[in-house]
Amino acid sequence: PRETISLNGTWKKMRTPGNHGLTLSARTVPNLALLKRENPEAVDPAFDDHAWQTCTIPGVENPSPDRYMDVTWYRRTFKIPASFPGKRAILTFGAANYAADVWVNGEWIGSHEGGFTPFCFDVTSKLKADKDNAIAVRVDNIPWLPQKAESDKTQPPANQSDIVPYKTADWWNFGGLLREVE
């Protein structure tokens, strides 16, 4: 049987304004730097996030009637057993709505687009045995329709037709880390 470590439970979170066009763009080195610049301390493993809000994962970031549709950063630290070296580690997310970027110990490891599908990353080389490991996840719950505030006028528009549902529908646009993390 495969050994798993549940990362469900208490995490820290912070809502920040995000660039939805950047969320939907290619993960080039310059674009990753722009993503990181939205909340640079979030990906720093040494950052003290005690002032961030506490949340429970899995969980919905915007339960009804909260219509928040923007970026939320999530953080969690955890330890893996001293017996870890030599084993393979896969970080698995059951779902993150709608687009997620993931950092482990300050290093970007990948992204996923698609609100209700699982995704995973091989993080074997990124983890430290018997020491604190930090995960940072940027989740963008992209608005369905363009909702530009004055401060957003310079952002490239998100291609709304690429997002499901792409039109106003009888659907609550839940955001967050919606399913288990292990």
Q: How far is CA 45 from CA 5, 6, 39, 105, in A?
A: 19, 20, 13, 5
- Look at residue 116 in the predicted model and tell me its pLDDT: 85
What distance in Å separates the CA atoms of residue 181 and residue 58, rounded to the nearest whole number?
7
State the amino acid at position 153 in one-letter form.
Answer: K
C-alpha separations of 147 from 59, 74, 77, 99, 138 in Å? 25, 24, 34, 18, 20
Q: Please report the pLDDT score of residue 143 as a whole number.
A: 83
- pLDDT, residue 83, reads 82
Residue 150 confidence (pLDDT): 45
Residue burial 118-151, b: 16+ Cβ < 10 Å; e: rest: ebebebeebbeeeeebbbbbbbbbbbbeeeeeee
Predicted confidence at residue 159, as pLDDT, reads 55
- Structural tokens at position 44: 């720093």
Helices then strands, counting H and E runs in the chain, come out as 2, 10
Q: How does pLDDT run along the chain (182 residues), one tens digit per residue?
A: 688 899 999 999 999 999 998 999 999 999 999 998 888 899 999 999 999 999 999 999 998 888 889 999 999 999 988 888 788 999 999 999 999 999 999 999 999 998 889 999 999 999 998 889 999 999 999 886 554 444 544 444 455 555 555 555 666 778 999 999 99
Phi, psi of 14 (to 5 degrees): -150, 130
Dist CA 96 CA 112 (whole Å): 8
Q: Which residues contact 90 (CB under 8 A, 6 or more apart)?
A: 120, 121, 122, 123
CB neighbour list of residue 124: distance below 8 Å, 6 or more residues apart:
87, 88, 89
Burial class for 37, CB neighbours closer than 10 Å (0-12, 13-18, 19+): exposed
d(CA 144, CA 158) in angstroms, rounded, equals 9
What residue has token string 């659907």?
Answer: 171
